[in-house]
Amino acid sequence: MAGGLVLLFLLLVGTGRCWELPAFHCNLYNSCECGFRPDLNALDCDLSRNVFGQHLAREQLVKALKVFVATDRPSKPLVLSFHGWSGTGKTFVSSLLVKHLYRDGNRSPYVHRFSPILHFPHAQNVNQYKEDLKQWIQGNLTACSRSMFLFEEMDKMHPGLIDVIAPFLGSSWVVFGSNYKKAIFVFVSNSGGEAINNVALNFWRGHKDREEIQLSDVVPAITKAVVADQEHGFWQSEIIEQNLIDVIVPFLPLRPNHVRYCVRSELEQMGLASEEDLVHSVTDSLVYFPEDERVFSSTGCKTVAFRINYYL
């Protein structure tokens, strides 16, 4: 019996996966409240195991979500804004959010993604897009207050467009038949990435641990960069002026040791053994900046999968 338990324990540990509760059995047919099944312990576990070098993002997200899901009557929708250099994990983290907040994960009908290139490609149609976007948000919120809206590449969104959703982000709007304050909005962009990189570089040069970087070290610089960017979807936006964003989630640039983790994890997913030679070659082949010191990866973990194929 004891041996069996030890074996079970070893199996659980040995798989290297996060321990997740079995899916909650839901009997409210097709209800959206039913589709919203936050498991924040699993989220935290997944973030700490599979997202490398992002202590701020992990802390901020878990903290904000704990507060938000603890009540049935939030005072306003949860509005998150992800910032950071490319390849630092923003898209991956957004997919983990969806996975651990919704029963059906990325297939959930209550999760809506918008990409400027896909949904709003032509600047001359911006008035039409405004109409569409407003209708979509309103329609989806009426169908389900526990909806999540993800806006990718905000730095490529036509300025002015996003303001049509500003009323949905505040605390005093009325959406007929729906408590829209239960919704979650996530904005993702690379802007502020350079400012974050500079802070991280200064910490590195000062021989300080990256885990010592605090939110207050990066947020003012991120806000400044976003406000100054005339191409950004938030240019002169009410969303910024009315402080509708609840949490700025910064993603730090990645060190070579984080890239090594990415390579190993990618190899594991491909079903291959992590041969140290290969891990080393791939990690070493990336471009690092500043050029002479080679501190951070210029593309984060983005090109890792491609490079593995190249070295194989």
Ligand X SMILES: *[C@@H]1O[C@H](CO)[C@@H](O)[C@H](O)[C@H]1NC(C)=O
Please give the residue ranges that form the binding site for ligand X (CB under 6 A). Answer: 112, 135-136, 139-140, 143
Residue 119 C-beta: closest distance to ligand X, Å: 8
Determine the residue type at 220.
Answer: P
With respect to ligand X, which residue has the nearer C-beta, 139 or 290?
139
Residue least distant from ligand X (Cβ): 139
Measure CA 138 to chain center.
23
Residue 157 C-beta: closest distance to ligand X, Å: 15
Measure CA 181 to chain center.
20
Q: How far apart are the C-alpha atoms of 53 and 215, rounded to whole Å?
A: 15
Residue 81 C-beta: closest distance to ligand X, Å: 20
With respect to ligand X, which residue has the nearer C-beta, 182 or 255?
182
Q: How far apart are the C-alpha atoms of 51 and 96, rounded to whole Å?
A: 10
Which phi and psi angles does 124 have, rounded to 5°?
-70, -15
Q: DSSP string covering the chain, please?
A: -HHHHHHHHHHHHHTTPPP-PPPPP--STT-HHHHB---HHHHHHHHHHHSTT-HHHHHHHHHHHHHHHT-SS-SS-EEEEEEE-TTSSHHHHHHHHHHHHBTTGGG-TTEEEE-HHHHS--GGGHHHHHHHHHHHHHHHHHH-SS-EEEE--GGGSPTTSGGGGHHHHSSS--BTTB-GGG-EEEEEESTTHHHHHHHHHHHHHTT--GGG--HHHHHHHHHHHHHH-TTSTTTT-HHHHTT---EEEEEPPPPHHHHHHHHHHHHHHTT----HHHHHHHHHHS-EESTTT--EETTTTTTHHHHHHHH-
Residue 49 C-beta: closest distance to ligand X, Å: 31
With respect to ligand X, which residue has the nearer C-beta, 112 or 156?
112
Residue 120 C-beta: closest distance to ligand X, Å: 12
Residue 108 C-beta: closest distance to ligand X, Å: 12
With respect to ligand X, which residue has the nearer C-beta, 46 or 152?
152
With respect to ligand X, which residue has the nearer C-beta, 6 or 143?
143
With respect to ligand X, which residue has the nearer C-beta, 23 or 143?
143
Residue 248 C-beta: closest distance to ligand X, Å: 25
With respect to ligand X, which residue has the nearer C-beta, 150 or 254?
150
Residue 140 C-beta: closest distance to ligand X, Å: 4
With respect to ligand X, which residue has the nearer C-beta, 55 or 112?
112
